[in-house]
Amino acid sequence: MPLLTLVTAPDSNLALVLKVLPALVVILITSVVCGRLANMVMQPRVLGEMVAGVLLGPTLFGWLFPEAQAALFPPEVRPVLYVLSTIGLTLYMFLVGAGLDHSGGRPGEIRKAGVLAASGILPSLALGVGAGLLLHSTLSRPDVSPWQFALFVGGALSLTAFPMLARILYERGLENTPIGRLTLMAASIDDALAWCLLAVLSAMHLGTGPSGALPTILLTMVFAVVMLKVVAPLLRPMGRTVARTGRLGPGAMYAVILIPLTAGWLTDWIGVYSVFGGFFAGLAMPRDPAFREALHGSMMAVVSTLLLPTFFTFSGLNTHLGGISGGTMLLAFGLILAAGFSGKYFGCALSMRGIGFSWRESYAVGGLMNARGLMILIFINIGLAQGMITQELFAMLVLVAVITTAGALPLYKLALPDRLERSLEPAQENAVSPVQSGVTPQAGGRVQVSEQSGPGNSTTVM
Protein backbone atom coordinates (compact mmCIF):
# COMPACT_ATOMS: atom_id res chain seq x y z
CA MET A 1 0.00 0.00 0.00
CA PRO A 2 2.73 2.60 0.81
CA LEU A 3 4.48 1.78 -2.48
CA LEU A 4 1.22 2.25 -4.40
CA THR A 5 0.67 5.55 -2.66
CA LEU A 6 4.17 6.71 -3.60
CA VAL A 7 3.64 5.81 -7.25
CA THR A 8 0.19 7.36 -7.60
CA ALA A 9 0.72 10.41 -5.38
CA PRO A 10 4.40 11.36 -5.43
CA ASP A 11 5.80 13.49 -2.66
CA SER A 12 5.56 17.18 -3.62
CA ASN A 13 9.08 17.93 -2.39
CA LEU A 14 10.51 15.11 -4.50
CA ALA A 15 8.54 16.37 -7.48
CA LEU A 16 10.09 19.82 -7.01
CA VAL A 17 13.58 18.36 -6.77
CA LEU A 18 13.01 16.43 -9.99
CA LYS A 19 12.19 19.75 -11.67
CA VAL A 20 14.99 21.84 -10.15
CA LEU A 21 17.87 19.43 -10.83
CA PRO A 22 17.40 19.23 -14.63
CA ALA A 23 17.22 23.03 -14.72
CA LEU A 24 20.53 23.29 -12.85
CA VAL A 25 22.15 20.71 -15.13
CA VAL A 26 21.17 22.68 -18.24
CA ILE A 27 22.28 25.96 -16.63
CA LEU A 28 25.73 24.58 -15.79
CA ILE A 29 26.27 22.93 -19.18
CA THR A 30 25.30 26.13 -21.00
CA SER A 31 27.47 28.22 -18.69
CA VAL A 32 30.57 26.09 -19.13
CA VAL A 33 30.21 26.08 -22.93
CA CYS A 34 29.68 29.84 -23.13
CA GLY A 35 32.43 30.43 -20.57
CA ARG A 36 34.90 28.43 -22.68
CA LEU A 37 33.89 30.36 -25.78
CA ALA A 38 34.42 33.62 -23.92
CA ASN A 39 37.92 32.51 -22.88
CA MET A 40 38.70 31.64 -26.51
CA VAL A 41 38.05 35.25 -27.54
CA MET A 42 40.10 36.62 -24.62
CA GLN A 43 37.09 37.56 -22.50
CA PRO A 44 36.57 36.69 -18.82
CA ARG A 45 34.51 33.60 -18.19
CA VAL A 46 31.88 35.59 -16.33
CA LEU A 47 30.90 37.32 -19.59
CA GLY A 48 30.15 33.95 -21.17
CA GLU A 49 28.06 33.05 -18.11
CA MET A 50 26.08 36.30 -18.49
CA VAL A 51 25.43 35.55 -22.16
CA ALA A 52 24.42 31.97 -21.25
CA GLY A 53 21.73 33.34 -18.95
CA VAL A 54 20.33 35.53 -21.74
CA LEU A 55 20.41 32.63 -24.24
CA LEU A 56 18.36 30.45 -21.87
CA GLY A 57 15.70 33.14 -21.62
CA PRO A 58 12.87 33.95 -24.02
CA THR A 59 15.17 35.66 -26.53
CA LEU A 60 16.65 32.44 -27.95
CA PHE A 61 15.73 29.22 -26.11
CA GLY A 62 12.19 30.38 -25.41
CA TRP A 63 11.83 31.60 -28.99
CA LEU A 64 13.13 28.44 -30.65
CA PHE A 65 11.72 25.90 -28.20
CA PRO A 66 8.97 27.56 -26.12
CA GLU A 67 7.50 24.29 -24.84
CA ALA A 68 10.89 22.95 -23.79
CA GLN A 69 11.75 26.17 -21.96
CA ALA A 70 8.39 26.18 -20.18
CA ALA A 71 8.96 22.57 -19.11
CA LEU A 72 12.53 23.25 -17.96
CA PHE A 73 11.76 26.48 -16.05
CA PRO A 74 8.17 26.17 -14.79
CA PRO A 75 6.82 28.79 -12.35
CA GLU A 76 7.51 26.64 -9.29
CA VAL A 77 11.22 26.33 -10.18
CA ARG A 78 11.91 30.06 -10.49
CA PRO A 79 11.62 30.88 -6.76
CA VAL A 80 14.20 28.15 -6.05
CA LEU A 81 16.53 29.68 -8.64
CA TYR A 82 16.00 33.09 -7.02
CA VAL A 83 16.97 31.79 -3.57
CA LEU A 84 20.07 30.04 -4.95
CA SER A 85 21.12 33.12 -6.89
CA THR A 86 20.69 35.37 -3.83
CA ILE A 87 22.85 33.05 -1.74
CA GLY A 88 25.42 32.95 -4.51
CA LEU A 89 25.62 36.73 -4.83
CA THR A 90 25.89 37.18 -1.07
CA LEU A 91 28.72 34.65 -0.74
CA TYR A 92 30.54 35.98 -3.80
CA MET A 93 30.50 39.52 -2.45
CA PHE A 94 31.67 38.09 0.86
CA LEU A 95 34.70 36.54 -0.86
CA VAL A 96 35.41 39.77 -2.70
CA GLY A 97 35.38 41.71 0.56
CA ALA A 98 37.51 39.11 2.32
CA GLY A 99 40.09 39.24 -0.47
CA LEU A 100 40.39 43.02 -0.53
CA ASP A 101 43.35 44.39 1.40
CA HIS A 102 41.87 47.55 2.90
CA SER A 103 44.29 47.87 5.82
CA GLY A 104 46.85 50.61 6.21
CA GLY A 105 45.82 52.92 3.40
CA ARG A 106 48.65 55.12 2.24
CA PRO A 107 48.43 58.93 2.64
CA GLY A 108 46.18 60.42 0.01
CA GLU A 109 44.85 57.06 -1.21
CA ILE A 110 41.36 57.53 0.22
CA ARG A 111 41.17 61.06 -1.17
CA LYS A 112 42.19 59.83 -4.64
CA ALA A 113 39.65 57.01 -4.44
CA GLY A 114 36.97 59.57 -3.59
CA VAL A 115 37.92 61.69 -6.61
CA LEU A 116 37.81 58.63 -8.89
CA ALA A 117 34.49 57.52 -7.41
CA ALA A 118 32.96 60.96 -7.96
CA SER A 119 34.18 61.04 -11.56
CA GLY A 120 32.69 57.58 -12.07
CA ILE A 121 29.26 58.30 -10.65
CA LEU A 122 28.47 61.98 -11.31
CA PRO A 123 28.89 62.16 -15.13
CA SER A 124 27.10 58.81 -15.61
CA LEU A 125 24.32 59.88 -13.26
CA ALA A 126 23.88 63.23 -15.00
CA LEU A 127 23.89 61.76 -18.50
CA GLY A 128 21.62 58.93 -17.42
CA VAL A 129 19.13 61.35 -15.86
CA GLY A 130 19.16 63.40 -19.06
CA ALA A 131 18.54 60.30 -21.18
CA GLY A 132 15.80 59.17 -18.79
CA LEU A 133 13.96 62.48 -19.00
CA LEU A 134 14.07 62.33 -22.79
CA LEU A 135 12.86 58.73 -22.89
CA HIS A 136 10.22 58.79 -20.14
CA SER A 137 7.27 58.89 -22.51
CA THR A 138 8.76 56.07 -24.59
CA LEU A 139 10.00 53.58 -21.99
CA SER A 140 8.47 54.34 -18.60
CA ARG A 141 5.49 52.82 -16.83
CA PRO A 142 2.60 55.31 -16.50
CA ASP A 143 2.68 55.23 -12.68
CA VAL A 144 6.36 56.26 -12.48
CA SER A 145 7.12 59.99 -12.53
CA PRO A 146 9.68 61.41 -14.99
CA TRP A 147 12.21 62.16 -12.24
CA GLN A 148 11.87 58.75 -10.61
CA PHE A 149 12.37 57.09 -13.99
CA ALA A 150 15.30 59.34 -14.89
CA LEU A 151 17.03 58.80 -11.54
CA PHE A 152 16.63 55.05 -11.89
CA VAL A 153 18.30 55.12 -15.32
CA GLY A 154 21.06 57.36 -13.99
CA GLY A 155 21.59 55.17 -10.94
CA ALA A 156 21.83 52.03 -13.04
CA LEU A 157 24.36 53.61 -15.41
CA SER A 158 26.46 54.94 -12.53
CA LEU A 159 27.17 51.44 -11.22
CA THR A 160 30.46 49.64 -11.72
CA ALA A 161 30.60 45.85 -11.75
CA PHE A 162 32.49 45.60 -8.47
CA PRO A 163 32.64 41.77 -8.38
CA MET A 164 33.52 41.69 -12.08
CA LEU A 165 36.23 44.30 -11.60
CA ALA A 166 37.65 42.42 -8.64
CA ARG A 167 37.60 39.20 -10.64
CA ILE A 168 39.63 40.73 -13.50
CA LEU A 169 42.16 42.25 -11.09
CA TYR A 170 42.51 38.98 -9.15
CA GLU A 171 42.98 37.00 -12.34
CA ARG A 172 45.80 39.32 -13.37
CA GLY A 173 47.34 39.63 -9.89
CA LEU A 174 46.73 43.40 -9.77
CA GLU A 175 44.35 43.73 -6.82
CA ASN A 176 47.00 45.29 -4.56
CA THR A 177 48.77 47.51 -7.07
CA PRO A 178 48.12 51.25 -6.76
CA ILE A 179 45.74 51.09 -9.73
CA GLY A 180 44.00 47.97 -8.42
CA ARG A 181 43.48 49.25 -4.87
CA LEU A 182 42.31 52.67 -6.07
CA THR A 183 39.90 51.20 -8.61
CA LEU A 184 38.38 48.72 -6.15
CA MET A 185 37.83 51.40 -3.51
CA ALA A 186 36.27 53.78 -6.03
CA ALA A 187 34.00 51.08 -7.45
CA SER A 188 32.80 50.12 -3.98
CA ILE A 189 31.96 53.78 -3.23
CA ASP A 190 30.09 54.13 -6.54
CA ASP A 191 28.03 51.02 -5.90
CA ALA A 192 27.25 51.96 -2.29
CA LEU A 193 25.96 55.38 -3.41
CA ALA A 194 23.91 53.79 -6.19
CA TRP A 195 22.30 51.41 -3.68
CA CYS A 196 21.44 54.34 -1.42
CA LEU A 197 19.82 56.02 -4.43
CA LEU A 198 17.86 52.83 -5.12
CA ALA A 199 16.67 52.81 -1.50
CA VAL A 200 15.36 56.37 -1.93
CA LEU A 201 13.67 55.51 -5.23
CA SER A 202 12.06 52.42 -3.72
CA ALA A 203 10.70 54.49 -0.83
CA MET A 204 9.33 57.08 -3.26
CA HIS A 205 7.77 54.40 -5.47
CA LEU A 206 6.10 52.72 -2.49
CA GLY A 207 4.60 56.06 -1.48
CA THR A 208 6.61 56.74 1.69
CA GLY A 209 8.55 59.66 0.20
CA PRO A 210 12.31 60.34 0.22
CA SER A 211 12.35 60.64 4.02
CA GLY A 212 11.30 56.99 4.19
CA ALA A 213 14.80 56.01 3.05
CA LEU A 214 16.56 57.86 5.90
CA PRO A 215 16.18 55.01 8.44
CA THR A 216 17.57 52.62 5.81
CA ILE A 217 20.68 54.73 5.29
CA LEU A 218 21.24 55.26 9.04
CA LEU A 219 20.78 51.55 9.82
CA THR A 220 23.21 50.68 7.03
CA MET A 221 25.83 52.96 8.56
CA VAL A 222 25.31 51.39 11.99
CA PHE A 223 25.56 47.92 10.47
CA ALA A 224 28.85 48.78 8.73
CA VAL A 225 30.37 50.19 11.93
CA VAL A 226 29.32 47.12 13.96
CA MET A 227 30.80 44.74 11.38
CA LEU A 228 34.12 46.55 11.10
CA LYS A 229 34.58 47.64 14.72
CA VAL A 230 32.89 44.89 16.74
CA VAL A 231 32.69 41.72 14.67
CA ALA A 232 36.11 42.07 13.01
CA PRO A 233 38.13 42.05 16.29
CA LEU A 234 36.16 39.01 17.50
CA LEU A 235 37.23 37.08 14.40
CA ARG A 236 40.98 37.71 14.75
CA PRO A 237 41.63 34.59 16.88
CA MET A 238 40.04 32.48 14.15
CA GLY A 239 42.38 34.09 11.63
CA ARG A 240 45.43 33.24 13.75
CA THR A 241 44.27 29.64 14.12
CA VAL A 242 43.77 29.23 10.37
CA ALA A 243 47.12 30.88 9.67
CA ARG A 244 48.80 28.41 12.03
CA THR A 245 47.09 25.28 10.67
CA GLY A 246 46.79 26.34 7.04
CA ARG A 247 43.16 25.21 6.72
CA LEU A 248 39.62 26.08 7.75
CA GLY A 249 38.44 23.64 10.41
CA PRO A 250 34.78 22.71 10.93
CA GLY A 251 34.17 25.57 13.35
CA ALA A 252 35.73 28.13 11.02
CA MET A 253 33.72 26.80 8.07
CA TYR A 254 30.49 27.27 10.01
CA ALA A 255 31.58 30.82 10.84
CA VAL A 256 32.46 31.83 7.28
CA ILE A 257 29.11 30.54 6.03
CA LEU A 258 26.89 31.80 8.86
CA ILE A 259 28.37 35.30 9.12
CA PRO A 260 27.79 36.43 5.50
CA LEU A 261 24.36 34.80 5.32
CA THR A 262 23.30 36.46 8.58
CA ALA A 263 24.76 39.77 7.41
CA GLY A 264 22.89 39.40 4.11
CA TRP A 265 19.66 38.71 5.94
CA LEU A 266 20.14 41.82 8.12
CA THR A 267 20.88 44.12 5.19
CA ASP A 268 17.91 42.67 3.29
CA TRP A 269 15.79 43.51 6.33
CA ILE A 270 17.32 47.00 6.46
CA GLY A 271 16.55 47.50 2.77
CA VAL A 272 19.96 47.64 1.03
CA TYR A 273 19.92 43.99 -0.06
CA SER A 274 22.03 41.03 0.88
CA VAL A 275 24.98 41.59 -1.45
CA PHE A 276 26.29 44.46 0.67
CA GLY A 277 25.80 42.49 3.85
CA GLY A 278 28.00 39.82 2.34
CA PHE A 279 30.59 42.41 1.31
CA PHE A 280 30.84 43.97 4.77
CA ALA A 281 31.05 40.49 6.28
CA GLY A 282 34.03 39.90 4.02
CA LEU A 283 35.68 43.14 5.11
CA ALA A 284 35.30 41.98 8.72
CA MET A 285 37.23 38.77 8.08
CA PRO A 286 40.84 38.42 9.33
CA ARG A 287 43.33 40.06 6.98
CA ASP A 288 46.04 37.40 7.25
CA PRO A 289 47.06 36.23 3.71
CA ALA A 290 47.03 32.58 4.82
CA PHE A 291 43.44 32.94 6.02
CA ARG A 292 42.38 34.53 2.75
CA GLU A 293 44.11 31.81 0.79
CA ALA A 294 42.31 29.07 2.75
CA LEU A 295 38.97 30.88 2.48
CA HIS A 296 39.11 31.39 -1.28
CA GLY A 297 40.38 27.86 -1.82
CA SER A 298 37.45 26.43 0.12
CA MET A 299 34.58 28.47 -1.30
CA MET A 300 35.29 30.37 -4.52
CA ALA A 301 35.03 27.49 -6.98
CA VAL A 302 31.63 26.31 -5.74
CA VAL A 303 30.17 29.81 -5.50
CA SER A 304 31.34 30.89 -8.96
CA THR A 305 30.67 27.61 -10.71
CA LEU A 306 27.24 26.71 -9.30
CA LEU A 307 25.52 29.73 -7.77
CA LEU A 308 26.46 32.68 -10.00
CA PRO A 309 25.35 30.98 -13.25
CA THR A 310 22.01 30.38 -11.54
CA PHE A 311 21.63 34.14 -11.01
CA PHE A 312 22.54 34.90 -14.62
CA THR A 313 19.89 32.46 -15.81
CA PHE A 314 17.27 33.85 -13.43
CA SER A 315 18.01 37.30 -14.82
CA GLY A 316 17.97 35.99 -18.39
CA LEU A 317 14.50 34.52 -17.91
CA ASN A 318 13.24 38.10 -17.46
CA THR A 319 15.09 39.46 -20.52
CA HIS A 320 12.97 39.93 -23.66
CA LEU A 321 15.30 41.37 -26.28
CA GLY A 322 12.55 41.09 -28.87
CA GLY A 323 11.06 44.26 -27.40
CA ILE A 324 14.04 46.26 -28.68
CA SER A 325 12.86 46.55 -32.27
CA GLY A 326 11.99 49.42 -34.54
CA GLY A 327 13.77 52.71 -35.04
CA THR A 328 12.45 54.39 -31.87
CA MET A 329 13.54 51.58 -29.54
CA LEU A 330 16.94 51.23 -31.22
CA LEU A 331 17.57 54.97 -30.92
CA ALA A 332 16.53 54.84 -27.26
CA PHE A 333 18.94 51.98 -26.63
CA GLY A 334 21.74 53.81 -28.44
CA LEU A 335 21.18 56.91 -26.30
CA ILE A 336 21.26 54.91 -23.05
CA LEU A 337 24.40 53.02 -24.11
CA ALA A 338 26.20 56.21 -25.18
CA ALA A 339 25.30 57.97 -21.93
CA GLY A 340 26.51 55.07 -19.82
CA PHE A 341 29.73 54.47 -21.72
CA SER A 342 30.93 58.05 -22.13
CA GLY A 343 30.11 59.08 -18.56
CA LYS A 344 32.15 56.30 -16.96
CA TYR A 345 34.98 55.91 -19.46
CA PHE A 346 35.93 59.52 -20.03
CA GLY A 347 34.99 60.71 -16.55
CA CYS A 348 37.22 58.15 -14.83
CA ALA A 349 40.05 58.51 -17.34
CA LEU A 350 40.21 62.29 -16.97
CA SER A 351 40.14 62.12 -13.17
CA MET A 352 42.92 59.51 -13.07
CA ARG A 353 45.03 61.74 -15.26
CA GLY A 354 44.25 64.67 -13.00
CA ILE A 355 45.51 62.87 -9.86
CA GLY A 356 48.83 61.99 -11.44
CA PHE A 357 48.55 58.76 -13.42
CA SER A 358 49.70 58.39 -17.02
CA TRP A 359 47.25 58.55 -19.91
CA ARG A 360 47.63 54.80 -20.50
CA GLU A 361 46.91 53.96 -16.87
CA SER A 362 44.01 56.44 -16.87
CA TYR A 363 42.30 54.93 -19.92
CA ALA A 364 42.91 51.42 -18.53
CA VAL A 365 41.03 52.35 -15.37
CA GLY A 366 38.31 54.02 -17.45
CA GLY A 367 37.80 50.76 -19.31
CA LEU A 368 37.60 48.72 -16.11
CA MET A 369 35.27 51.12 -14.31
CA ASN A 370 32.96 51.09 -17.34
CA ALA A 371 32.03 47.42 -16.85
CA ARG A 372 28.54 47.02 -15.36
CA GLY A 373 28.32 43.21 -15.09
CA LEU A 374 26.69 41.77 -11.99
CA MET A 375 25.79 44.94 -10.18
CA ILE A 376 23.55 46.48 -12.81
CA LEU A 377 21.81 43.13 -13.25
CA ILE A 378 21.02 43.06 -9.52
CA PHE A 379 19.93 46.71 -9.62
CA ILE A 380 17.52 46.30 -12.54
CA ASN A 381 16.13 42.99 -11.29
CA ILE A 382 15.05 44.82 -8.15
CA GLY A 383 13.56 47.63 -10.23
CA LEU A 384 11.62 45.16 -12.36
CA ALA A 385 10.36 43.24 -9.34
CA GLN A 386 9.13 46.45 -7.70
CA GLY A 387 7.40 47.67 -10.87
CA MET A 388 9.67 50.69 -11.37
CA ILE A 389 10.74 49.81 -14.93
CA THR A 390 9.33 48.10 -18.00
CA GLN A 391 10.50 44.89 -19.66
CA GLU A 392 11.84 46.97 -22.56
CA LEU A 393 14.11 49.10 -20.37
CA PHE A 394 15.17 45.98 -18.46
CA ALA A 395 16.25 44.32 -21.72
CA MET A 396 18.14 47.45 -22.83
CA LEU A 397 20.04 47.65 -19.56
CA VAL A 398 20.88 43.93 -19.76
CA LEU A 399 22.45 44.65 -23.16
CA VAL A 400 24.32 47.61 -21.65
CA ALA A 401 25.67 45.24 -19.00
CA VAL A 402 26.84 42.71 -21.60
CA ILE A 403 28.38 45.27 -23.98
CA THR A 404 30.21 47.33 -21.35
CA THR A 405 31.45 44.17 -19.62
CA ALA A 406 32.66 42.76 -22.94
CA GLY A 407 34.50 46.01 -23.66
CA ALA A 408 36.22 46.29 -20.27
CA LEU A 409 39.13 43.92 -20.81
CA PRO A 410 39.84 44.88 -24.47
CA LEU A 411 39.87 48.57 -23.54
CA TYR A 412 42.12 47.82 -20.58
CA LYS A 413 44.58 45.79 -22.66
CA LEU A 414 44.53 48.36 -25.46
CA ALA A 415 45.58 51.06 -23.01
CA LEU A 416 47.90 48.89 -20.89
CA PRO A 417 49.32 45.92 -22.84
CA ASP A 418 51.09 43.08 -21.06
CA ARG A 419 54.59 44.55 -21.46
CA LEU A 420 53.48 47.67 -19.53
CA GLU A 421 51.26 45.81 -17.09
CA ARG A 422 54.28 43.97 -15.66
CA SER A 423 55.56 47.24 -14.22
CA LEU A 424 52.54 47.50 -11.92
CA GLU A 425 54.07 45.92 -8.82
CA PRO A 426 52.10 45.61 -5.57
CA ALA A 427 53.36 47.69 -2.67
CA GLN A 428 55.37 45.37 -0.44
CA GLU A 429 53.57 46.24 2.75
CA ASN A 430 50.24 45.35 1.19
CA ALA A 431 51.27 42.58 -1.16
CA VAL A 432 49.66 39.19 -0.86
CA SER A 433 51.30 35.85 -1.34
CA PRO A 434 51.48 34.43 -4.87
CA VAL A 435 49.13 31.60 -3.96
CA GLN A 436 46.56 33.87 -2.31
CA SER A 437 46.34 36.16 -5.31
CA GLY A 438 46.10 33.24 -7.71
CA VAL A 439 49.52 33.95 -9.25
CA THR A 440 51.99 31.13 -9.73
CA PRO A 441 55.50 31.92 -11.05
CA GLN A 442 56.46 29.85 -14.08
CA ALA A 443 59.76 29.11 -15.72
CA GLY A 444 61.16 31.75 -18.02
CA GLY A 445 59.61 34.69 -16.19
CA ARG A 446 56.03 33.85 -17.13
CA VAL A 447 53.21 34.25 -14.66
CA GLN A 448 50.27 31.87 -14.53
CA VAL A 449 47.10 33.48 -13.18
CA SER A 450 44.55 30.89 -12.13
CA GLU A 451 40.92 31.86 -12.58
CA GLN A 452 39.19 32.10 -9.23
CA SER A 453 35.89 30.92 -10.59
CA GLY A 454 36.62 27.30 -11.15
CA PRO A 455 39.13 24.62 -12.04
CA GLY A 456 40.54 24.06 -15.44
CA ASN A 457 40.67 27.70 -16.57
CA SER A 458 43.67 29.99 -16.56
CA THR A 459 44.94 33.11 -18.18
CA THR A 460 48.61 33.54 -19.02
CA VAL A 461 50.12 36.97 -18.57
CA MET A 462 53.29 37.33 -20.58
CA distances from 205 to 215, 374, 383 (A): 16, 24, 10
Tell me: the pLDDT tens digits for 271-321?
Answer: 777 877 888 899 899 988 888 888 888 888 888 888 889 988 888 887 877
* Residue 28: inside a domain: yes
Q: Which of 162, 218, 204 is nearest to 376 (CA)?
A: 162
Residue 123's pLDDT is 92
373, 412: one domain: yes
Judged against a pLDDT cut of 80, whether residue 5 lies above it is answered with no
CA distance 403 to 181: 25
Give me the mean pLDDT over the 11-30 stretch: 90
Q: Which of 347, 367, 408 is nearest to 118 (CA)?
A: 347
Residue 387's pLDDT is 81
Tell me: the pLDDT tens digits for 106-148?
Answer: 556 778 888 888 888 899 999 999 999 999 988 888 888 888 8
Which residues are 449's β-sheet partners?
439, 459
48, 132: one domain: no
401, 432: one domain: yes
373: left (phi over 0), alpha (psi -120 to 50) or beta: left
Return the minimum-mean-pLDDT range out of 48-57, 150-159, 412-421, 424-433: 424-433
Q: Give the confidence band of 406 by pLDDT, cuts at 50, 70, 90.
A: confident
68, 96: one domain: no
Tell me: the pLDDT tens digits for 170-195?
Answer: 767 776 677 777 888 888 787 777 77
Q: Are 97 and 337 in contact, with CB atoms under 8 Å apart?
A: no
For residue 36, give its domain range: 18-72
CA distance 196 to 331: 30
305, 445: one domain: yes
* Residue 5: inside a domain: no
Most confident of the following: 195-199, 337-341, 407-411: 337-341
Query: Where among 40, 72, 104 does a domain terminate?
Result: 72
Residue 105's pLDDT is 54
Comparing 59 with 207, which gets the higher pLDDT?
59
* Residue 2: inside a domain: no
* Residue 10: inside a domain: no
217, 361: one domain: yes
Query: Where among 39, 57, 72 does a domain terminate?
Result: 72
* Residue 6: inside a domain: no
* Residue 7: inside a domain: no
Comparing 207 with 35, which gets the higher pLDDT?
35
52, 97: one domain: no
* Residue 4: inside a domain: no
Give me the mean pLDDT over the 54-65 stretch: 86
Return the minimum-mean-pLDDT range out of 87-91, 320-324, 370-374: 320-324
Which residues are 439's β-sheet partners?
449
212, 66: one domain: no
25, 120: one domain: no
* Residue 260: inside a domain: yes
Q: Which of 389, 325, 395 is nearest to 139 (CA)?
A: 389
Domain at 158, CATH number:
1.20.1530.20
87, 47: one domain: no
Domain count within the chain = 2
Full strand arrangement of the beta sheet holding 439-441: 439-441, 447-450, 458-461
Give me the mean pLDDT over the 147-155 stretch: 89
Comparing 430 with 297, which gets the higher pLDDT?
297
Comparing 393 with 168, which gets the higher pLDDT?
393
Give me the mean pLDDT over the 391-402 stretch: 88
Residue 277's pLDDT is 86
Give me the mean pLDDT over the 76-97 stretch: 87
Tell me whether residue 209 is exposed, middle or buried, using C-beta atoms within 10 angstroms of its C-beta: 0 to 12, 13 to 18, 19 or more. Answer: exposed
305, 179: one domain: yes
Q: Give the confidence band of 33 by pLDDT, cuts at 50, 70, 90.
A: very high
pTM assigned to the model: 0.73
Q: With pLDDT > 70 as the criterion, what percentage of the chain qualifies?
A: 82
117, 264: one domain: yes
Tell me whether residue 382 is exposed, middle or buried, using C-beta atoms within 10 angstroms of its C-beta: 0 to 12, 13 to 18, 19 or more. Answer: middle
Q: Give the confidence band of 66 by pLDDT, cuts at 50, 70, 90.
A: confident
Give me the mean pLDDT over the 93-106 stretch: 68
Give me the mean pLDDT over the 347-372 stretch: 88
Vertex 296 angle, CA 292 and 297, to 5°: 115
Residue 263's pLDDT is 93
